[in-house]
Amino acid sequence: MINVKNWDPRLKLTWCLFLVLTALISRNMVLDLVLLLTILITEIITEKSLKRFKVIAILLLIAGSQVLIINLLFGRVGEPVWSWWILTVYNGSLIASLLGFLRICVITISAIQFAYNTDATDIAQMLIKWHIPYRYAMLVPITARFFPVMVNEYHSICDSNSARGVPCDTVMEHIRNLPAAVMPLIYRALRISNDASLSVELRGFGRYETRNFQKTIGLRPFEGIMILFIIMMYISIMLYIMFL
């Protein structure tokens, strides 16, 4: 198994941007399929499994089914292939749905791959290397740190509501109780942010212009060559799409 986490975040970001931008400019199903397979192959090479994409695959199937329903109902591109009562299915709609589905798969899975393989502190260091003041760059690890805290806060509010006789199980209960759950969450967030800002100020956040890290990032020669190779590959694909 190749440990991608130790690679420079700039290389991983370049790879992610290459996949996203190529999928965005592509109008070719084969190219999108190749990009998707490339992501899956790199994932199998590096992680030896695809289990990280299990949850997102379900969400992508839901989004894909929505795109398919809309295109089947309202799409009027191409030749009619099937007709029943007021419903007529055109072949162009099916192609558009498939293209849209492949594109969202590439865009989403590449971003998920980047997020899983890149440490929040590495992203902060990457931003510092790009001369962004560390007070702003450090907000990335702070976000990663506070995410589980706020999710737990939300669950504790839902549990408290349930204990007071306001259940939060079905969809309708969720809709009905949304203000009752979100308003306390906003108040708790304001209180937590007050406490957290005081804590970081007391620890010297923003006192000096620079900040030290236990582990630093540095671009190794092979990573630099890889970045150049990815950029050249993107330019080639762009030229191919534009002129051929």
Partner 1 sequence: MENELALKRKKIFKTDTKSLIGAVVMGIVFVIACQITGQIDNMLPWGKAGMYLINGSCWAFFTAFITLIYKQPGGIIAAEIEALTSVMYSPLWVAFIFANAVGTIWVSFVASKYDMTKWSHHILAQAGVCILGNCIVTVGMIFILEIPLDVAIIETLILIAVNWIVATVITKLTYDAVLKSGLVK
Summarize as ranges the residues that interact with partner 1 (CB under 8 A). Answer: 20, 24, 56, 59-60, 62-63, 66-67, 69-71, 74-77, 96-97, 99-100, 103-104, 107-108, 111-112, 115, 135-136, 139, 142-143, 146-147, 150-151, 154, 171, 174-175, 178, 182-183, 185-187, 189-194, 196-197, 200-201, 205-206
What are the backbone dihedrals phi and psi of residue 152, each rounded to the nearest 5 degrees, phi first? -65, -40
**Least distance to partner 1, CB of residue 225, Å:** 28
Separation CA 155–CA 163 (nearest Å): 12
**Least distance to partner 1, CB of residue 67, Å:** 5
Residue (40 or 63) nearer to partner 1, CB: 63
| DSSP secondary structure letters along 133-196 | -HHHHTHHHHHHHHHHHHHHHHHHHHHHHHHTT----SHHHHHHTHHHHHHHHHHHHHHHHHHH
Residue (29 or 34) nearer to partner 1, CB: 29
Burial class (CB in 10 A: 0-12, 13-18, 19+), 23: buried
At residue 220, the 3 state secondary structure works out as: coil
Residue (163 or 190) nearer to partner 1, CB: 190
What is the Cα 213 distance to its own chain's centre?
26
**Least distance to partner 1, CB of residue 141, Å:** 10
Maximum separation of any 2 CA atoms in the chain, in Å: 72
Residue (136 or 229) nearer to partner 1, CB: 136
Do residues 32 and 107 touch, judged by C-beta distance below 8 A? no
**Least distance to partner 1, CB of residue 102, Å:** 10
Residue (1 or 62) nearer to partner 1, CB: 62
Counts for the chain of helices (H) and strands (E), in that order: 10, 2
Residue (34 or 139) nearer to partner 1, CB: 139
Residues counted in the chain: 244
Residue (150 or 238) nearer to partner 1, CB: 150
**Least distance to partner 1, CB of residue 69, Å:** 7
**Least distance to partner 1, CB of residue 185, Å:** 6
Do residues 237 and 38 touch, judged by C-beta distance below 8 A? no
**Least distance to partner 1, CB of residue 220, Å:** 27
Separation CA 153–CA 149 (nearest Å): 6
